[in-house]
Amino acid sequence: MMGKVYLVGAGPGDPELLTVKAVRILRSADVVLHDALVAESILAMVRPHAQLVDVGKRAGEKRMTQDAINQLLVEFSGCAETVVRLKGGDPLIFGRAAEEMAALRKAGVEFEIVPGITAAVAASAQARIPLTDRESSPAVVFLTAQQAIGKGPTEIKRFASADTTLAIYMPNGRYGEIGRQLIAAGLSPQTPCVVVSSAFRVEQEMAWTDLAGLRLVSPPESPALLIVGAVARCREEIPAAPSSLLGVFKIGLEATRR
C-alpha cells in the first residue's frame, strides 16, 4: 500500500505560527522533504528518527531540480506511510505545489494540503499594517517579481492601481526597477512602500520608504517581501512626510516588538 503525501506550510519561521495539524503531521512523519529556508526550530519538531531531506535552494543555487523533487515524493510514498513536503510560507502561493500535485496525481499517490501563513501576511503582521483597507485599498494582489526560467522578470507595471495593495514576493534586489515601473504606470512617486526581510525571525529587518525612494533600498537578506500601496505607510514609527524627507528607515525585530 502506498503512503500519503502532505504538502505542509511551515509559515514564516516561528514554530508558534504552525497550525496544530501541521505539528501533528510533523510528529508522525516518516520522511520530510524540506525547503532550505525552513527554520531549524521547526525541523526540530519532526519525529525522531524520521528522514530529513533538504531539497531547497539558496541565492539561486539549486540543489535539486523540481522534477527530481517530484520523483522523490512519488518514490518515498511507496515505502513510507507519511511523507511530508515542508515548504516555507503557504504551499499554494509561489511554492510550486501545482507541479508536485500534478506528479502525485499522475502516479496515483494520495495527498493533502496543510496551509501555512504566507509571507505577505507575515510581513504585514510584523509591520502592523493591513493588506486591505476600506478607505484606501479594497484589493490586494500577490505577485512574484521573478517568473519561471526563460520567461524573464514579471512586468509589474501591469498590476499598478492607486487603490490596490501589491505584495511582491522575491523582489531579488530589483527595488529601483520596480519603483520606476510603477511610477511610469501612473502611481505617485510618494506611494508608500515597506520591505520586510525574514519576518518573524531574529534577523528580521524592515525598510520604510516610497516608490521614489525604492532605488535607495539596500537589498536585504532573503526571504524578503515588498508591500506597495497606501496601507504601507509607517503609521507608528514615522510621521507622514514628503518623499524628499521620507528616506529609508530600517527597524529590527526588537524595535517592532516595543
Q: Which residues are catalytic?
A: 35, 57
Residue 35 Cα distances to 56, 95, 133, angstroms? 4, 10, 33
Give ∠ CA 216-222-226 in degrees, rounded to 5: 50
Which 3-state string (H, E, C) describes 157-210?
Answer: HHHCCCCEEEEEECCCCCHHHHHHHHHHCCCCCCCEEEEEECCCCCCCEEEEEE
Cell numbers that stand for 212 in this block:
521614489
The residues facing 61 across adjacent strands are 58
Residue 13 neighbours by CB under 8 Å, 6+ apart: 37, 38, 39, 41, 42, 88, 198, 199, 200, 201
Cβ proximity of 191 and 175 under 8 Å: no
* C-beta neighbour count of 3 within 10 angstroms: 17
Element (H, E) at 221: none
